[in-house]
Chains A and B, each alone.
Chain A
């Protein structure tokens, strides 16, 4: 499995993603510069966390115009995998590759903590090795992570089981207290209709080694590798969980 991790000016979690993929997972992972149009045959493109373009104007607003994003769009349209983490999720929404938007946290505070997220669907390449309803503990660190979308979009996400992760409390309930940023329906991560583009606010790359606090994030990367090995073909929509 070959991964490509994009660096935009201001990206800061690209190195940790590369470490997780190449050192912990043991896959082939290369760096992609935001001006590269050539994705070098990678199967999954990762848009990492950070403050691309200093969050100028809006988070991810400028990054969507980087040359690499034209190739990422083509890659996604052809069924290739795309994973957007935090700022990467913001870039995917700004690019129109995912619906909705990420706005300022409801509390107006920058939140940096480990949160619990519940796996709402295993019918994605990223959650295929999880059990439905499984709870993962993964760190978040963001000031603009509140997911919003209009009522029709939210309904569609629910109906099509495209909400992948939801913030939950210790009892597994998607309560208000469990919601760190005000996201509608406690949404922490979603996929597109074709289920090959996944955006999430939590940082799985910061939870890949037990020694450093937990390895629940590793599951989201390893699932892709084994899923791809099983499929050996461009992705089709898997049956529901």
Chain B
């Protein structure tokens, strides 16, 4: 067993990195977005005449609790291509953030 000092103890409790992917899925420019149009009209009705375009998309937070953080980018990209975005009509981009293992996306159950 390695030494029982505070540094060794912290290493054992620290665990591996957890990655949070923040993914944005939006309709392609060529695809008509009637929801965005409807929202634009509503904003105008509320007095925000300066709004000339609205496009409605999806935002997903995906927490990767295991696996190689170095492979996270490729894995998330694959998730987007296979399921999270329909590339016929949508495009996607994402940001990755490495967080402490205790950080969760939602209040604990």
Flag whether B89 is at the interface (Cβ < 8 A): yes
Task: Pick from B35, B83, B88: contact of A57, CB below 8 A.
Answer: B83
B105 touches A (CB below 8 Å): no
Q: From B27, which residue of chain A is reached at the shortest CB distance?
A: A103
In the complex, B66 has a CB within 8 A of chain A: no
CB contact between B89 and one of A101, A105, A182 (< 8 Å): that residue:
A101
Q: Please classify how large the interface on chain A is, using the bins under 10, 10 to 19, 20 to 34, 35 or more.
A: 10 to 19
> B79 CB to closest chain A CB, in angstroms?
12
Interface check B32, CB cutoff 8 A: yes
When distances are taken between beta carbons in the complex, the residues of chain A under 8 Å from B86 are: 58, 61, 94, 101
Which residue of chain A is the closest to B82 with respect to CB atoms?
A65
Looking at the assembled complex, report how far the CB atom of A142 sits from the nearest CB atom of chain B, in whole angstroms.
Answer: 15
Contact indicator per residue, chain B 24-46, by CB within 8 Å of chain A (1) or not (0)? 00000011101100100000000
A108–B34 CB distance below 8 A? yes
For B38, what are the chain A residues with a Cβ–Cβ distance below 8 Å?
108
A57 touches B34 (CB 8 A): no
Inter-subunit contact B34/A106 (CB<8 Å): yes
B62 to chain A, nearest CB (A): 13
Q: What string of 1s and 0s marks CB contacts (under 8 Å) between A185-200 and chain B?
A: 0000000000000000
Contact status of A61 and B32, CB under 8 A, knowing A93-B88, A103-B89, A148-B89: no
Residues 80-103 (chain B) with a chain A CB within 8 angstroms? 83-84, 86, 88-89
B35 touches which of A94, A108, A182 (Cβ 8 Å): A108
What residues of chain B lie closer than 8 Å to A150, measured between beta carbons?
30, 88
B34 and A149 form a contact (CB under 8 A): no
Query: Nearest Cβ in chain B — how far from A132, in angstroms?
Result: 29
User: Are A101 and B88 also in contact (CB < 8 A) when A57-B83, A150-B30 are?
Assistant: yes
> How far in angstroms is the closest Cβ of chain B from A82?
19
Residues of chain B contacted by A94 (CB below 8 angstroms): 86
A104 CB–B CB distance under 8 Å: yes
CB pair A107 B34 closer than 8 Å: yes
A214: B residues at CB distance < 8 A: none
Chain B residues lying within 8 Å of A65, measured Cβ to Cβ, are: 83
Complex-state Cα separation, A148 to B35, whole angstroms:
16
What residues of chain A lie closer than 8 Å to B32, measured between beta carbons?
103, 106, 148, 182
Cα–Cα distance between A237 and B59 once the two chains are bound (Å):
44
Is A100 engaged at the interface, CB distance under 8 Å to the other chain?
yes
Contact of A104 among B30, B34, B88 (CB under 8 A): B34
* Contact bitstring A80-97, B, C-beta under 8 A = 1, else 0: 000000000000011000
- Please give the distance in Å from A148's CB to the nearest CB on chain B: 6
Interface residues of A (CB under 8 A from B): 57-58, 61, 65, 93-94, 99-101, 103-108, 148-150, 182
Q: Which residues of B are at the interface with A, using a C-beta cutoff of 8 A?
A: 30-32, 34-35, 38, 83-84, 86, 88-89
